[in-house]
Amino acid sequence: MKRALILSLSTFVAGVALPTAAVSGDDKPLYTVQDGVNVDENTYNGFKTWRAAACDRCHGPNQEGMVGPSLIESLKVLTREEFDKVLTDGRMAKGMPAWNTNQKVMDNLDDLYAYLKGRSDGAITKAKVRKIK
């Protein structure tokens, strides 16, 4: 259900004017963006989770990939279920930690996904975002 909606997202996003909203499974927008950098509270929280967990050390400050893969690309391919599984269990041999011992990451998977998906979709244009005032 969720997956189907997300797959249809890109066409949807392309067609709408700012602010951009992407839809998640329960009809609530996955993320809302204004001017590319101002985001809703949940998405902002996703950014803060990304930063606190220091994901940039492997995936690059702009999610472009370094020793770890580009999340701009990965989030175009990964299903939501796969995303959760990789975050929870890790990909040890490749150096991706299992984050299941990090409560902050586990509690904020939805927000983290929203933020990274927004970056991958191109709707969020800079890695550093602000909260919509």
Partner 1 sequence: MIAGLKHKVAAALACMTAAGFAVADADLDRAMKNPGNWASQAGDEYNQRYSSLDQINAGNVGNLQVAWTFSTGVLRGHEGSPLVIGDMMYIHSPFPNNVYAVDLNTQQIVWKHTPKQDSAVIAQMCCDTVNRGLAYGDGKVFLQRADSVLEALDAKTGKVVWQATNGDPKLGAVNTNAPHIFGDKVITGISGGEWGVRGYISAYNIKDGKMAWRGYSVGPDAEMLMDPAKSMTWADGKMQPVGKDSSLKTWKGDQWKIGGGTTWGWYSYDRAENLLYYGTGNPSTWNPTQRPGDNKWSMSIWARDLDTGMVKWVYQMTPHDEWDFDGINEMILADIDVKGKKRKALVHFDRNGFGYTLDRISGELLVAEKYDPVVNWATHVDMKTGRPQVVAQYSTEHNGEDVNSKGICPAALGTKDQQPAAFHPKTGLFYVPTNHVCMDYEPFEVEYTAGQPYVGATLAMYPAPNSHGGMGNFIAWDAGAGKIVWSKPEQFSVWSGALTTAGDVIFYGTLEGYLKAVNLKDGKELWKFKTPSGIIGNVFTYLHKGKQYVGVYSGIGGWAGIGMAAGLENDSDGLGAVGGYRDLQKYTNLGGSLTVFALP
- Closer Cβ to partner 1, 59 or 117, answer by number: 59
Tokens 């702009």 correspond to: 62
- Closer Cβ to partner 1, 3 or 57, answer by number: 57
Side chain identity, residue 12: F
CB of 86 to partner 1, least distance (A): 12
Side chain identity, residue 21: A
- For 26, the token pair is 């329960």
- Closer Cβ to partner 1, 3 or 128, answer by number: 128
- Closer Cβ to partner 1, 76 or 126, answer by number: 126
Is the Cβ–Cβ distance between 104 and 49 less than 8 Å? yes
CB of 28 to partner 1, least distance (A): 28
CB of 34 to partner 1, least distance (A): 18
Instruction: Catalog residues that contact partner 1 under the rule CB under 8 A.
Output: 51-54, 56-58, 60-62, 64-67, 90, 92-98, 101-104, 126-128
Determine the Cα–Cα distance for residues 58 and 117; give it in Å rounded to an integer.
Answer: 18
Question: Could you give phi then psi for residue 91, rounded to 5 degrees?
Answer: -130, 80
| Number of helical H runs and strand E runs in the chain | 8, 4
Helix (H) or strand (E) holding 12: helix 9-15
CB of 92 to partner 1, least distance (A): 4
